[in-house]
């Protein structure tokens, strides 16, 4: 288990002061502000992590899509993730509470191969394994609800839609970075945070277009996902439809939990795929009912098909290149088996805020003679050195967790005691981390 203690951060810089005031929807800037450009392919997955909420640093979000919409379904945030949101802005944590269902438990597992009608089990024998989430359970919600609520916190003039990055270069005076977009427009900023997802253009600029780490690899897992109206799910599953449940089995597992005040049941069915990904650059494709039935044919009696891609096989050697840094899926895309991918993006923002505020604090003193540009290089480098190991560790243990609940770990297979112990060894350092 790596040691991720964060040391005291000293970044020696110098900057100008400003007394400008911004709109009521934004935090007023303080002395020694930077200007950042924050590029998102999908704001819906991380508008709550950074951007307008960096208190000392004006930020503009450049979103690739032309309209904010969410094609995903459920998202889970733990108690520690909520604490990070509160650190970024208490309004974010409050927003999460408003739209989410609070689940007091973590994994509630049932043998998916069982031929009995598990709905008839007694309450004390309902689950084959129960693993309580450390730190107060999880907040479960629909991504679209979370996006809609959080986007209201963003000042409209700080959000630019339809902006796909083409190039990022240094300006003539070396003070600003110049970002050119595919629509022919451009922008300038002291620093760039690239959070443009698994197919990150900014990531290829940071790591190099010929670097294998610039491209995700198929993790040989696929998933069928859908939202089921609770009025249709309840007659089939009974009281199980209103619980968070994982059905485990050889080579496949199903995760289900209620959303939107139990109006819907979020269902994600994962299965092992030993072949290669055959859909070119697409990471999702349409699937039919026969595909789903065949993949889970060994399960007891009792959409859409995305492939699972991650960065485990070719991890980045650095999240940072000068005054450009990566976060969220662009830095460490992971499989969803620990339900922590979005939360690690929140951690990214938390660490970035910490190092940038340290930089701003030193800049405010104005007695070191170091430029804002050097300050950003040191700040982003510190973010990389203290956080990358943990973020890449998540990618590793998430893939293993997927194998664990599919009974694919040879020394454990379907042994519930072994599954519990292995899960505990990974979850504790993941969630109980400051």
Supply the residues annotated as catalytic.
225
**What is the number of alpha carbons within 13 Å of residue 18 lying toward its C-beta?**
16
Residue 173 in contact with residue 183, Cβ under 8 Å?
A: no
Q: What are phi and psi of 252, to 5 degrees?
A: -160, 155
The residues with which 259 forms a beta bridge, in sequence order, are 264
Residue 82 is inside which H or E element, if any?
helix 79-88
Residue 230 in contact with residue 265, Cβ under 8 Å?
A: yes
Say which DSSP state 66 is in: S
Q: State the Cα angle at 215 between 334 and 388, rounded to 5°.
A: 50
What six digits make up the tokens of 319?
Answer: 């999240």
**What is the number of alpha carbons within 13 Å of residue 120 lying toward its C-beta?**
5
Classify 301 as helix, strand or coil: coil
Of 181, 146, 221, 177, the residue nearest 401 (C-alpha) = 221
Residue 406 in contact with residue 248, Cβ under 8 Å?
A: yes
Q: State the Cα angle at 404 between 3 and 123, rounded to 5°.
A: 110
Cα four-point dihedral sign 119, 124, 127, 130: positive
Distances from the Cα of 9 to the Cαs of 1, 82, 85, 380, in angstroms?
Answer: 23, 24, 22, 12
Residue 74 is inside which H or E element, if any?
strand 74-78
Residue 305 is inside which H or E element, if any?
strand 304-310
């Amino acid at each position: 288990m790596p040691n991720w203690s964060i040391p005291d951060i000293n970044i020696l810089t110098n900057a100008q002061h400003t007394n400008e005031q911004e709109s009521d929807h934004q935090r007023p800037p303080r002395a020694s502000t930077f200007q950042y450009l924050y590029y998102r392919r999908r704001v819906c997955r991380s508008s709550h992590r950074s951007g307008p909420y960096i208190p000392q640093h004006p930020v503009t979000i450049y979103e690739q899509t032309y309209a904010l919409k969410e094609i995903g379904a459920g998202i889970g945030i733990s108690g520690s993730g909520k604490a990070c949101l509160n650190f970024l802005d208490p309004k974010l944590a409050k927003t999460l509470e408003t739209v989410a269902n609070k689940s007091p438990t973590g994994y509630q597992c049932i043998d998916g191969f069982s031929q009995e009608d598990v709905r008839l089990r007694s309450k004390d024998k309902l689950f084959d394994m129960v693993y309580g989430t450390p730190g107060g359970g999880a907040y479960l919600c629909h991504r679209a609800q979370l996006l809609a609520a959080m986007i209201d916190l963003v000042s409209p003039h700080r959000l630019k839609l339809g902006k796909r990055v083409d190039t990022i270069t240094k300006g003539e005076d070396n003070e600003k970075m110049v970002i050119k977009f595919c629509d022919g427009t451009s922008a300038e900023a002291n620093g760039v945070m690239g959070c443009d997802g698994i197919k990150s253009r900014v990531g290829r600029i940071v790591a190099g277009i010929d670097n294998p780490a610039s491209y995700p690899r198929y993790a040989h897992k696929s998933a069928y996902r859908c939202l089921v109206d609770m009025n249709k799910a309840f007659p089939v599953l009974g009281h199980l439809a209103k619980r968070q449940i994982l059905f485990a089995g050889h080579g496949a597992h199903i995760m289900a939990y209620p959303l939107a005040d139990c109006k819907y049941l979020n269902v994600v069915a994962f299965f092992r795929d030993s072949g290669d990904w055959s859909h070119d650059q697409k990471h999702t494709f349409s699937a039919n009912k026969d595909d789903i039935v065949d993949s889970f044919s060994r399960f007891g009696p009792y959409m859409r098909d995305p492939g699972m891609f991650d960065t485990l096989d070719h991890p980045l050697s650095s999240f940072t290149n000068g005054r450009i840094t990566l976060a969220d899926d662009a830095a460490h895309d992971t499989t969803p088996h620990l339900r922590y991918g979005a939360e690690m993006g929140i951690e990214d923002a938390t660490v970035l805020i910490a190092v940038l505020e340290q930089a701003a604090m030193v800049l405010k003193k104005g007695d070191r003679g170091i430029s804002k540009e050097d300050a950003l290089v040191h700040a982003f480098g510190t973010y990389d050195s203290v956080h990358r190991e943990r973020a890449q560790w998540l990618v590793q243990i998430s893939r293993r967790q997927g194998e664990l609940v599919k009974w694919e770990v040879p020394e454990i297979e379907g042994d519930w005691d072994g599954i519990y112990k292995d899960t505990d060894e990974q979850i504790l350092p993941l969630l109980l981390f400051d």
